[in-house]
Amino acid sequence: MLREVEVRGRHESARRLRSTIGSVFRYAVATARAEADPTLALKGALIKPTVTPRAAVTDPKALGALLRAIDSFDGQPSTQAALKLMALLFPRPGELRAAEWTEFDFDTNVWSIPATRTKMRRPHRVPLPAQSIAILKELRQITGPGVILFPGIRDEMRPISDNTLNAALRRLGYTKDEATAHGFRATASTLMNESGVWHPDAIERQLAHVENNDVRRAYARGEHWDERVRMMQWWADYLDTLKSTSDKILASDISIARRGQRR
């Protein structure tokens, strides 16, 4: 059965299918329904999928141009708002597409993503900078009466599709090798780490990444919440700077940010 999936070129699907089948058999073993997990013998037998990094804009000047292009987007206002929020908050695209209004607390300025919609199946909180609050309040005038922030055109109870945001980027003139919706995560990670302003663990927590090293994970349990609140506002202000700088990004921008962080 796995070979049938593999020969169609769906190498990652075959790998995940083997893992899922293995989970079923391990449960069967634990409940005395089976004697062994046959998928263990297939470990390494399937073609290893080729991982292609999603395209991301990591040059500050190019990012400023992309942000200005998004500001000029003439498609659906909700799609434009989604692109702006992807740049500001850099969640996983699926987490944003299916976001519901009840997840947003405008008193504390926090977006609480439920565990059922996160990749790691654990709740994730996102501090909302002032710029994102303004976008959300404007969007609420359009889609606020409904349940979800970004309803589809044909069915307001279903969110926009996986391809909507990437299609919007193509409409702006960016190819799939230049920019993707998921790439905003790499953009934020790269530029925040390069700034030297923020602790790498705070950046990783904001990206909702889980430490792979068991020992390090045991010592890295803190959420770095206060730092993340400051970091997200700094990031939003930094994007505003990039967007308003058409020729070059001054080196003093980062030093000013560092002084602000120390304060």
Q: What is the pLDDT of residues 141-172, one digit of tens each?
A: 999 999 999 999 888 889 998 899 999 999 99
Q: Does any domain span residue 49?
A: no
| DSSP classification of residue 196 | T
Structure tokens at 227: 């730092």
- pLDDT tens digits along 7-17: 888 888 888 89
- CA distances (Å), origin 135, targets 89, 207, 247: 12, 21, 26
Phi, psi of 35 (to 5 degrees): -95, -25
Catalytic residue among 15, 26, 54, 209: 209
Q: Does any domain span residue 54?
A: no
CB atoms within 10 A of CB 112: 13
Alpha-carbon distance of 126 to 129, in angstroms, equals 9
What does the CA dihedral 23, 211, 94, 92 come to, rounded to 10 degrees? Answer: -160
Q: Does any domain span residue 192?
A: yes
**Could you tell me if 78 and 65 are in contact, meaning their C-beta atoms sit under 8 angstroms apart?**
no
Alpha-carbon distance of 13 to 91, in angstroms, equals 24
124 is catalytic: no
43 is catalytic: no
Which residues does the chain have with pLDDT short of 70? 50-53, 210-222, 246-263
Bridge partners of 110?
Answer: 105, 127
Q: Is there a single domain that holds both residue 24 and residue 69? A: no
At residue 249, the pLDDT reads: 45
Structural domain count, the chain: 2
92 is catalytic: yes
Domain membership of residue 9 as a residue range = 2-42
**Could you tell me if 95 and 122 are in contact, meaning their C-beta atoms sit under 8 angstroms apart?**
no
171 is catalytic: no
Q: Is there a single domain that holds both residue 36 and residue 130? A: no
Q: Does any domain span residue 193?
A: yes
Q: Is there a single domain that holds both residue 26 and residue 68? A: no
